[in-house]
Amino acid sequence: MAATPGPAVTGGAITAGLVPLPVFASTDDAASFTIGSDTAIEVGPGDGTAAVARDLADLLRPPTGYALQISTGAATSPPKDSIDLRLGSGNPALGDEGYDLTISKDGVVLMATKVAGLFHGVQTIRQMLPSAVETRAASSTVWKLTGGHIVDYPRYSYRGAMLDVSRHFFGVPVVERYIDELALYKVNVLHLHLSDDQGWRLAIDGWPNLTAIGGSTEVGGGQGGYYTKADYTALVQYAQARFITVVPEIDTPSHTNAALASYPQLNCNGTSPALYTGEQVGFSSLCVPKAATYTFLDDVVSELAALTPGPYIHLGGDEAQSTSAADYVTFVQKAQAIVEAHGKSLMGWAEISKAKLDQGSVAEYWNFNDHGRSATDAAQQSVKVVMAPADHAYLDQKYDAHTVLGLTWAGAIEAQDAYAWDPLDGGRVAESDVLGVEAPLWSETLHTTADLEYLAWPRMAGIAEIGWSPKAERSWPTYRTRLAEQGPRWTAMGINFYRSPQVDWTS
């Protein structure tokens, strides 16, 4: 059975519950495989492969009641009542994150070039199983997988979710839960917005007031909070185990009131402002001419770089309305040099393209009111762009006029609005300029996990598919039916998702 270009998006049973849509898929209606108590998980050699096999066994154990045995070493070929996970398919198209999945009556063979591909392939298997697989209680479901073949790999290497933990603080367990949810949709970046006017959320050695003062409140005047270095490291590792890279953001030179309130020397007049718990921003700025500013930034970036295995340090750069244009450019170039001196690349909101950027820096486009100008400016400097246009990708905007949570400045964003766009729309940038996509979830109006989930799902799934699936294969009508299948899955996972009236949820 050969893989045919383009999945059977409407009738192909194998893709019916899959988000994101795979690159190639073919259904074999005559074949299916049912996981039973005797099914073995066989795992080939390679660092990290056994951990993915354990993830699969751990997922299956509670709902199936089966303690599936994992055997290492040579896989039986062809499989015999087994799920085989192995590295080395020989197909270069798979790249670092792709996988090749075959389901026949005898079993499942999942192959990938890298362990990340095996992990993503397991997420596909997960979505092909009945939604009861997500419950933690045993059920008598038949654990049947549709037969067929999938060859799959991402369009973009950066498929991000941003979470604002500054406006309202979210502790480690809340973020870990979100990481688990994101992994199911093959999202591979978690961008943490760790500081803003309303709160500083990461302990930095030598600068204790950042958290003691700057972390002590949040929007609305609540108690705030912050991550210790151990907390942050735990998040980084939790994400890493799910093939998600953390991109930490310290927003500068504006959005810095929490830092300015913590240390008077960071202010041009040497005096700290009061803490701020409102929602309006754009009034604060680090003191660009002062040496103390760069001592501070260097210490912060140095610690962030040491704690962060990923390649990017995000230094914000948005809405610097209280920084002069000349100071802004000076600041971004100094900040870029500091990040590079610590072995990382600068990422920033696309306003940073006003400065001279180095290749390897990344601009994140959000402000659709500039009609793509800032993205184009970045691309013209040979800087890659992450597309997060606020009118499609901002998960903090209301779904419609009745949504209680969220803001409205970028317009209402329904499930279809979050999905039916493409990074290349408007011709702002070329495909080769685009590193990927991201969906930011700002937290001015969010307090709980339930709030966060309500705004994230289903829209986050749409952005995840835009980042992964081939442009030519995507369409709202077919996505809509696959999205509907996520409803029972999210219910089984206890996710408080928004039941968009645009989708015929299957329950």
Which positions lie near ligand TNX, rule CB under 6 A? 281, 318-319, 349, 366, 394, 396, 407, 442, 444
Handedness of CA 194, 199, 205, 207 (dihedral sign): positive
What are the C-alpha distances in Å from 354 to residues 286, 287, 381, 456?
A: 18, 19, 10, 31
Nearer to ligand TNX, 126 or 398 (CB): 398
**Which of 324, 43, 23 has the alpha carbon at shortest distance from 153?**
23
Indicate the residue among 23 and 315 with the shorter CB distance to ligand TNX: 315
Which residue in this structure is represented by tokens 């989930």? Answer: 453
**Active centre residues (catalytic):** 319
Residue pair 257/197 in contact (Cβ under 8 Å)? The answer is: yes
- The number of CA neighbours under 13 Å toward the Cβ of 499 is 8
DSSP assignment letter at 294: H
Distance CA 362, CA 313 (A): 10
Residues 6+ apart with CB under 8 A from 318: 251, 254, 255, 348, 349, 351, 366, 367
207's tokens: 């600068």
Structure tokens at 484: 């509907």
Q: Sheet of 24-35: strands edge to edge?
A: 24-35, 143-152, 99-104, 107-112, 82-87, 40-43, 70-72
Q: Which of 362, 391, 392, 359 is nearest to 374 (CA)?
A: 362
Question: Whole-angstrom distance between the N-terminal and C-terminal Cα of the chain?
Answer: 34
* Cβ 444 to ligand TNX shortest distance, Å: 6
Q: Tell me whether residue 120 or residue 392 sits nearer to ligand TNX (CB atom).
A: 392
Nearer to ligand TNX, 100 or 318 (CB): 318
Say if residue 253 is preceded by a cis peptide, omega within 30 of 0: yes
CB of 436 to ligand TNX, least distance (A): 17
